[in-house]
Amino acid sequence: MKLLLLGGTGQLGREIFLHAGPGLSIVAPTRRDLDLVRPETIDSYVAAQDVDVIVNAAAYTAVDKAESERDLAFVLNAEVPGRLAAAAAAKGIPLVHVSTDYVFDGIKGAPYRPTDPVAPLGVYGASKEAGEKAVRATSGRAVILRTAWVYGPFGGNFMKTMLRLGRERDVLRVVDDQRGTPTASADLAAASLAIAVRLVNDPGDHGGTFHFTNAGETTWCGFARAIFDLAGSRLARRPDVLAITTAEYPTPARRPADSRLDCDATIARYHISQPDWRTALASTLDRILERTI
């Protein structure tokens, strides 16, 4: 099976390479091969590839910066997925497109189901919502896979920020009133690949919108504390993690207060394993701190 991977240099993309089994070959154009800020080049690029499925892990992911780079965020997160979906449909191959919990406003008070109404609070979320709509508007088979709070050994993420700040400061102040579920890039890569393989092998699977995170829930503060608890004596020093409110940590973008995702339908349909977030965090820290990645 051949997979066309967009965003192969990102944190999810790099993990997908590690998780691809021997039966899967991956074509992953870099920015130099296919610059996605020129979406009009996508059609001919995709048309020329001999592949069975497309996974789109490319995106504009700088949540705060997006507030002042709206156009760029919309090109990458809305126009690109629409073009990819159209190009996939033209070839008759399925698409797995990755989206985000930030399409929700976070006021539901319970885990969001895929069918719940979206109401993004910031430009990043709005651009990702527009990408979902563009994918749904095309006729091909696609899975829109929403995930959340992704972290891992590759690229920038909250876990790596905490490990760095922990080396530099005695006290970290972290918001304790935004709930969600951290998701290890390794588990998300496995889920994305399982869905891609299933779409190829089962032409009767018409896709749709699905959620995947690790199991359980916490806050960003709870996540930060767990990082230092689980890293333990492997870190030279351990900072105090002080719980603060969102109001005490002003940022350009508003973020949802509770963006837990209900993943039941995904687990049932695709038989994906969903480790608890702490178990996944422990494994990820082992990889990083024991340099086994």
Ligand X SMILES: NC(=O)C1=CN([C@@H]2O[C@H](COP(=O)(O)OP(=O)(O)OC[C@H]3O[C@@H](n4cnc5c(N)ncnc54)[C@H](OP(=O)(O)O)[C@@H]3O)[C@@H](O)[C@H]2O)C=CC1
Ligand Y SMILES: Cc1cn([C@H]2C[C@H](O)[C@@H](COP(=O)(O)OP(=O)(O)O[C@H]3O[C@@H](C)C(=O)[C@@H](O)[C@H]3O)O2)c(=O)[nH]c1=O
Q: Based on the shown chain and the rule CB under 6 A, indicate whether residue 63 belongs to the binding site for ligand Y.
A: yes
Partner whose footprint covers residue 274, from Mg ion, ligand Y, ligand X, none (CB < 5 to 8 Å by kind): none
Q: Based on the shown chain and the rule CB under 6 A, indicate whether residue 161 belongs to the binding site for ligand Y.
A: yes
d(CA 162, CA 152): 12
Binding window for Mg ion (CB under 5 A); candidates: 57-65, 115-123, 176-184, 257-265: 57-65
Token couple for 229: 């608890």
* Size of residue set near ligand X by CB under 6 A: 23
Binding window for ligand X (CB under 6 A); candidates: 30-38, 46-54, 133-141, 282-290: 30-38
Give yes or no for a contact between 10 and 57, defined as CB atoms under 8 angstroms apart: yes
Show contacts with ligand X in window 210-269 (CB under 6 A).
Answer: none
Strands 240-244 and 183-184: unpaired
Show contacts with ligand Y in window 240-269 (CB under 6 A).
Answer: 249, 251, 255
Q: Based on the shown chain and the rule CB under 6 A, indicate whether residue 172 belongs to the binding site for ligand X.
A: no
CA distances from 104 to 112, 114, 124, 186 (A): 8, 10, 11, 24
d(CA 229, CA 250): 26
- Return the sign of the alpha-carbon dihedral for residues 120, 139, 191, 56: negative
Binding window for ligand Y (CB under 6 A); candidates: 70-78, 146-154, 195-203, 277-285: 146-154
Residue 96 amino acid letter: V
Let me know if 223 is exposed, middle or buried by CB neighbors in 10 A (0-12, 13-18, 19+): buried
Show contacts with ligand X in window 77-116 (CB under 6 A).
Answer: 98, 100
Q: Which is nearer to ligand Y, 52 or 79 (CB)?
A: 79
Q: Based on the shown chain and the rule CB under 6 A, indicate whether residue 61 belongs to the binding site for ligand X.
A: yes
Closest approach of ligand X to the CB of residue 170, in Å? 27
Question: Which residues, in sequence order, are bridge partners of residue 3?
Answer: 26, 53
Q: Which is nearer to ligand Y, 179 or 255 (CB)?
A: 255
Judged by DSSP in three states, 175 sits in strand
Question: Which residues, in sequence order, are bridge partners of residue 24?
Answer: none
Q: Based on the shown chain and the rule CB under 6 A, indicate whether residue 120 belongs to the binding site for ligand X.
A: no
Closest approach of ligand Y to the CB of residue 13, in Å? 14
**Binding-site ranges for ligand Y (CB under 6 A):** 61, 63, 100-102, 148-150, 158, 161, 165, 172-175, 178, 220, 249, 251, 255
